[in-house]
């Protein structure tokens, strides 16, 4: 089997029951990979995907990523399924809307929850991945960041943008630290993506500016995030380790 393919390899994808994560998991499955599908609250969506593939190709595991114990259990179950993992995709993220005017208590609460899921869980899973990949001669990590990590976000999403900035620095550091051990780490930074959760927000008349600022004129299809992630995991562009792949319709400067 060629090293430069996802076929027959096994990947853990977090937040994979819906939205971007579902698109990533589906793309990997369509290209012949085995997928550990992490989910937390979207049971119906997880079950729909599980019905489409055999138990030998897809394993669904529920975990609350704000709990360190759940993060450790998720990793253990993912590795135990096939005895190893070839790659990790950290996609799951908390996206809470918190305006500063809501007060300091709400501000602290939502910053803590955002960083627990978007940074601490990602860091812990990356630690597990690196530790695991050292024993098998290498592996790949794709961390889903955001356009907001580089250009900031609206006042209700300062914590989200900050958390994604941390993910970018984390991923680049992992890439530098472990490249000689054949451990590669990549960043995918989407702008607005046309998921079921996001579409109602960006299509609301009062939010017309959200699409107006995108030179391509529309949000990115989730399938494109799936395609770039599978490409990075394939091993075809190892020298791109540490690189950020922007998928934002050229909306860099607004």
The runs of H, that is alpha helices, within the chain are: 19-30, 43-51, 68-82, 104-115, 121-136, 148-151, 158-178, 199-203, 208-212, 222-233
If pLDDT is split at 50, 70 and 90, which confidence band does 1 have?
very low
Please identify which residue in the block is written with the tokens 């599978």.
Answer: 230
Q: Given pLDDT bands bounded at 50, 70 and 90, which one contains residue 245?
A: very high
In this prediction, residue 47 carries a pLDDT of 84
- The per-residue pLDDT for range 140-175, each reduced to its tens digit, is 999 999 999 999 988 999 999 999 999 999 999 999
pLDDT tens per residue across span 95-130? 999 999 999 999 999 999 999 999 999 999 999 999
Judged against a pLDDT cut of 80, whether residue 200 lies above it is answered with no
Q: What is the pLDDT of residues 49-73, one digit of tens each?
A: 888 888 899 999 999 999 999 999 9
**What percent of the chain is predicted at pLDDT more than 70?**
98
Q: Which residues contact 99 (CB under 8 A, 6 or more apart)?
A: 155, 156
Q: What does each C-alpha distance from 152 to 48, 104, 168 come to in angstroms? A: 35, 21, 13
Cα separation of 127 and 220, whole Å?
30
Fold that domain 10-247 belongs to in CATH = Rossmann fold (3.40.50)
pLDDT band at 253 (very low <50, low <70, confident <90, very high): low
pLDDT more than 90, % of the chain: 76
| Contact residues for 251 (Cβ-Cβ < 8 A; gap 6+) | 147, 191, 192, 213, 214, 215
Average pLDDT, stretch 33-40?
A: 97
């Amino acid at each position: 089997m060629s090293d430069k393919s996802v076929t027959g390899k096994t990947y853990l994808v977090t937040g994979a029951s819906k939205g971007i994560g579902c698109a990533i998991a589906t793309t990997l499955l369509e290209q012949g990979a085995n997928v550990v599908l992490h989910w937390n609250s979207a049971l119906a969506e997880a079950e729909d995907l599980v019905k489409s593939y055999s138990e030998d190709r897809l394993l669904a595991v529920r975990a609350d990523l704000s709990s360190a114990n759940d993060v450790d259990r998720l990793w253990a179950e993912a590795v135990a399924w096939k005895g190893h993992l070839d790659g990790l995709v950290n996609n799951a993220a908390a996206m809470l809307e918190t305006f500063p005017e809501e007060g300091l208590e709400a501000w602290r609460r939502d910053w803590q929850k955002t960083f627990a899921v978007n940074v601490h869980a990602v860091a812990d899973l990356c630690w597990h991945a690196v530790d695991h990949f050292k024993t098998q001669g290498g592996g790949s990590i794709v961390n889903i960041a955001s356009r907001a990590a580089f250009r900031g976000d609206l006042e209700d999403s300062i914590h989200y943008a900050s958390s994604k900035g941390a993910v970018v620095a984390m991923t680049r550091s992992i890439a530098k630290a472990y490249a000689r051990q054949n451990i590669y780490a990549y960043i995918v930074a989407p702008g607005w993506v046309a998921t079921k959760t996001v579409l109602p927000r960006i299509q609301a008349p009062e939010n017309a500016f959200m699409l107006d600022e995108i030179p391509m004129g529309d949000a990115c299809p989730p399938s494109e995030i799936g395609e770039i992630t599978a490409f990075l995991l394939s091993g075809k562009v190892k020298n791109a380790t540490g690189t950020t792949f922007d998928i934002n319709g050229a909306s860099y400067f607004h």
